[in-house]
Amino acid sequence: MLNSNSVKTRFLASVAANGIRSIMGFVTGLLVARALSPSGYGDLMFLLGSFAAIRGLLDMGSSSAFYTFLSRHTQGRRFYMVYLTWTALQFFITLALVAAIIPSSLFEKIWLGHTREIVLIAFLATFMQQQILQTVSQVGESMRKTVKVQLLTLIIAMVYLAIISILLLYGMLTMANVLLSMIFQSALASLSIYWLLREHHAQPSEKDANFHQIILEYWVYCKPLMVLAVITFFYDFADKWMLQKFGGATQQGFFQIANQFANAILLATTSIIGIFWKEIADAWEKRDHVRIAMLYRKATRGLVMLSAIAAGLVLPWSEQVVTLLLGPMYADSWPVLAIMLLYPIHLPMGIIGGSTLLAVGQTQKHMLICVVGMLVSMPFAYFMLAPIMAGGLALGAWGLAIKLVSLNVVSTNIQALVIARVSRWKYDWMFQVVGIPLMVALGYLVKFLTGIIWNLEVATPANLVIPVIFASVLYAFLVFGVLWMLPWLIGLDNSELRELVKPLSRRFNSIFR
């Protein structure tokens, strides 16, 4: 019987649930994008993105502190009271600003023509979806209750997909109804918080600290992150605002749908990051530096290469993917998708590095690395997006995608170098130089060979099903061959790879025996 608290079981449960949920979320996003058109989808994502940035500003790193403290040891009721009070304060401050305090003239400039009512609904949807679901997941994962958390979020995703499908069927899939559906979806999740907290308090907990001690602990952890929160707000909001202002809602829609495809590649990273954070924080508490180094190296190499493998498979087919899944309205967005598929390759490296620094309490170093990167990014974004007469290149979604990919490669490697110097590890870079270009090259080679056999110019499901299946199988065999010869690319040695493959080999042999 599997141990539901073990890292292996929790990771498998997380990957399985995230896989199904990602597919459902991806399908839901495609339905919304097709129904709203590029401009309508762009408006929706602009509103959601603006409040995601505002929530990060008011959060001030407290959610990271909350999860880190939970991961180190069990907490008492006062700990939860402090965090939930702070969360409620964030909600009411933003609600007051949006509903009444911000003058109409300033409101118009910030949200670029959207009414106060629709902006208010977007705020409620963003806050409930991100804050409530994140808190539920953090509490459950801190108790190593990954299986229950993943089942909960999976059910919620099913409900949301059903609601969106019904609205589409009856011709009622508008931006307002999408936002209201998100609020309803998140309200279901909030009902499970009491259940998770009640189960948590059924376990023995350490002596409950007083309010002063709890607030002081938060202050020490979050103080360096406050500067980061302010810079991150301007960084996140500026990208979306400048694209909406200079490029328009259609360019916003092109970029956001490409970003959704890119996020789908991060399945493995989103599956493991909570588990990784918990294990790093636990190892740090025990001063097990050898385990921290091992976890960091394996997670970084494995997740980067998994993302590179996924990107290498899809990137050469960008034009066909857009045409088939999104229709002619999005046809001009395929170059943006091609560039954005490179973005999630290095993103796991940054997420793992940032989580490592936060899990061990190195918030000052994390803050400095992120702030420098974002301060460089904002003028670069203006240069790529602003009109030519205002000193920019007016590249729209394409320009923002180039900015994100190029700066992400640089910033994640700077972060990895800092972590290596501080921890006295060897800076791990060779797997990137060898593995990433190799996977992308294999993808283009496979498409070239497929194109020799079949005509790929006619992008219809009937014409592409067999070629895509052939290309996927051929690509999988080539990738497996490369990793068999170079297992160090994914953080394994020859013996570890053989042990990993042995169960599959035995099952394969039993089928054909």
Of all residues in the chain, the percent with pLDDT exceeding 90 is 54
Q: Is the pLDDT of residue 22 over 90?
A: no
Length of the chain in residues, anyone?
513
Q: End-to-end CA distance of the chain: give it in Å, rounded.
A: 28
Report pLDDT for 279: 81
- The helices-and-strands tally (H runs, E runs) of the chain is 21, 0
Report pLDDT for 149: 72
User: Taking a C-beta distance cutoff of 8 angstroms, is the pair 235, 378 a contact?
Assistant: yes
Report pLDDT for 196: 57
Residue with tokens 């499970």: 192
Residue with tokens 């974004």: 381
474-506 pLDDT, tens per residue? 999 999 999 999 999 998 888 888 887 776 566
Q: Which residue has the higher pLDDT, 296 or 21?
A: 296
C-alpha closest to that of 359 among 349, 351, 370: 351
Report pLDDT for 202: 44
Q: Is the pLDDT of residue 317 over 80?
A: yes
Q: Is the pLDDT of residue 2 over 60?
A: no
Name every residue whose Cβ is closer than 8 Å to that of residue 412 and which is 6 or more positions away in sequence: 346, 347, 349, 350, 353
349-408 pLDDT, tens per residue? 999 998 888 877 787 888 888 889 999 999 999 999 999 999 999 999 999 999 999 999
- What is the band of 280 on the pLDDT scale with cuts at 50, 70, 90? confident
Report pLDDT for 282: 80
Report pLDDT for 1: 47
> 492: how many CB neighbours lie within 10 A of its CB?
18
Q: Is the pLDDT of residue 3 over 60?
A: no
Q: Which residue has the higher pLDDT, 403 or 426?
A: 403
154-194 pLDDT, tens per residue? 888 888 999 999 999 999 999 999 999 999 888 877 676 55
- The reported pTM is 0.85
For residue 160, CA distances in Å to 35, 140, 251, 346 come to 16, 21, 26, 30
Q: What is the mean pLDDT of residues 324-330?
A: 91
Q: Which residue has the higher pLDDT, 146 or 324?
A: 324
196-249 pLDDT, tens per residue? 556 544 444 555 678 889 999 999 889 878 888 999 899 999 999 999 999 999
Average pLDDT score, the chain? 87
Residue with tokens 């990738």: 479
C-alpha closest to that of 194 among 281, 136, 269, 266: 136
Q: Is the pLDDT of residue 116 over 90?
A: yes
Residue with tokens 């909960």: 152
In 424-493, alpha helices (H): 430-453, 461-485
Of all residues in the chain, the percent with pLDDT exceeding 70 is 89
C-alpha closest to that of 365 among 416, 313, 294, 312: 416
C-alpha closest to that of 414 among 361, 372, 362, 360: 372
Q: What is the mean pLDDT of residues 263-282?
A: 77
Report pLDDT for 204: 44
Give phi and psi for 379, each to the nearest 5: -65, -30
Residue with tokens 């958390």: 149
C-alpha closest to that of 378 among 243, 251, 248: 243
Q: What is the mean pLDDT of residues 256-282?
A: 81
Q: Is the pLDDT of residue 135 over 90?
A: no
